[in-house]
Amino acid sequence: MAPRPTASILIVDDDGRNLMALQALLEDMGHQLVPAASGGEALRHLLRKEFAAILLDAQMPGMDGFETARLIRQRERLRHTPIIFLTGAYEDSFSMFRGYEAGAVDYLVKPVVPEVLKSKIAVFVELYLNNTRLAGEVAERKLIEEQLRQSEENLRALATHLQSVREEERIGIAREIHDELGQALTGLKMDLTWLVNHLPAAQKPLVKKADSMFDLIDGTIRSVRRIATGLRPEVLDEGGLAAAIRWQALDFQKRTGIRCTVELPPDGLEPDQGRATAVFRIFQEVLTNVARHANATRVDIALKVDRDNLVLEVQDNGKGIVEHLARNSKSLGLLGMRERALLFKGRVEIAGNSGKGTHVKVLIPVSR
């Protein structure tokens, strides 16, 4: 069994016999008893050590109990340490009043009744131990909260890092595919043209073969462009966010047959590359969701700057996202959108209207 927790009790009395008597009386409670023969000595103990309760003689030469209590109460740390005043029977209720005024929480008349004193001490010790335990728990909880917050911060920083590494990689691969393969294919096409020009006109099957090679090369050039653009559309880096949104909407309309309207800010706004990428990737996810889930025939897209926010709004006329999914979807698409916005202290608001469609609003703060 764990040892019973104990506490310290300070006993202050100028009369050595009283001190001994009180110590003898409380000894069997198992707490640490610290005697002090004056108010000054009591204060010195209090500065060094924590006490569950203070037994304080009211009448002492020099600094009396009331003065000692006042000085104790002036210290922030000791403001709530219980003080039990001990006073002679001859003293009147006026001194009792003075005791309470000075910060006493209880009052006992000498000679004290042992059982009364013991039960009072027991209550205060119990209170003290409970408080200590609670304070420990609060401190532990605070520590855990801090650790959680820290780890969330680290995870978010890692996510930011991974996102940007991934985006950088995409840019690099897209460029390489586009430049290297694109140039090689163009070179191939030129060589083939030269070859065809040098073929004897009579060699019909060879000319036919060369024609199909031209088709193959053109198809491959288109594929290379499509793959590179899929990785990272050039327009995002060269034309900026607004141009990329328009391009993506047109491409979406072409692929799905869902009609898109696009409203862009009149004076080309240019967020930094990080924000532009975030908004663009969120937009792509929103469109993918429209194609996959909405059953819509029309999408209205607006990009604008509202006060200090970059705002993208996308309204479809489909079946409308179910409310609990909009609010608290655990699936990765919406979660990823929210996280991307959060990286820039932004947010994503999603609202569904059954049978009427889904509205997605992305807000990203920009400093202008």
Q: Which of 239, 240, 333, 365 binds Mg ion (CB under 5 A)?
A: 333
Report what 233 binds from Mg ion, ligand ATP, none; CB cut-off 5-8 Å by kind.
none
Judged by DSSP in three states, 64 sits in coil
* Contact assessment for residue 270 and residue 240, using Cβ atoms and an 8 Å cutoff: yes
CA pair distance 127, 31, nearest whole angstrom: 14
Strand partners of residue 310: 305, 364
Residue 156 token pair: 């978010």
- Region of residue 30 (phi > 0: left; psi between -120 and 50: alpha; otherwise: beta): left
Q: CB-based burial of residue 309 (10 Å sphere; 0-12 exposed, 13-18 middle, 19+ buried)?
A: middle
In angstroms, what is the minimal distance from the CB of 337 to Mg ion? 9
Residues 313-352 close enough to bind ligand ATP by CB under 6 A: 316, 318-319, 321, 325, 329, 331-334
293 binds ligand ATP (CB under 6 A): yes
Residue with tokens 């855990």: 144
Over its C-alpha atoms, the chain yields an Rg (Å, rounded) of: 41
Report the residue from 290, 310, 311, 363 that binds ligand ATP according to the rule CB under 6 A: 290
Residue 358 interacts with, from Mg ion, ligand ATP, none (CB under 5-8 Å by kind): ligand ATP
Q: How far is CA 179 from the centre of its chain?
A: 42
Using rule CB under 5 A, residue 365 touches Mg ion: no
Q: How far is the CB of 295 from ligand ATP (least distance, A)?
A: 8
User: Residue 303 CB, nearest distance to ligand ATP (Å)?
Assistant: 18
- The CA–CA distances, whole Å, from 255 to 35, 230, 233, 291, 302 equal 90, 13, 16, 10, 20
User: Interface with Mg ion by CB under 5 A: which range of 170-178, 255-263, 294-302, 326-334?
Assistant: 326-334
In angstroms, what is the minimal distance from the CB of 285 to Mg ion? 6
Size of the site for ligand ATP (CB under 6 A): 16
Please tell me the distance from the alpha carbon of residue 169 to that of residue 231, in angstroms, as a whole number: 9
In the complex, what is the shortest distance from the CB of residue 322 to ligand ATP, in angstroms, rounded to a whole number?
Answer: 7
What mask, x for binding Mg ion by CB under 5 A, covers residues 257 to 296?
--------------------------------x-------
3-state secondary structure of 2: coil
Tell me whether residue 13 or residue 316 sits nearer to ligand ATP (CB atom).
Answer: 316
**Hey, which residues between 201 and 260 contact ligand ATP (CB under 6 A)?**
none
Handedness of CA 63, 69, 70, 73 (dihedral sign): positive
Give me the residues that bind Mg ion (CB under 5 A), please. Answer: 289, 333
Give me the residues that bind ligand ATP (CB under 6 A), please. Answer: 289-290, 292-294, 316, 318-319, 321, 325, 329, 331-334, 358
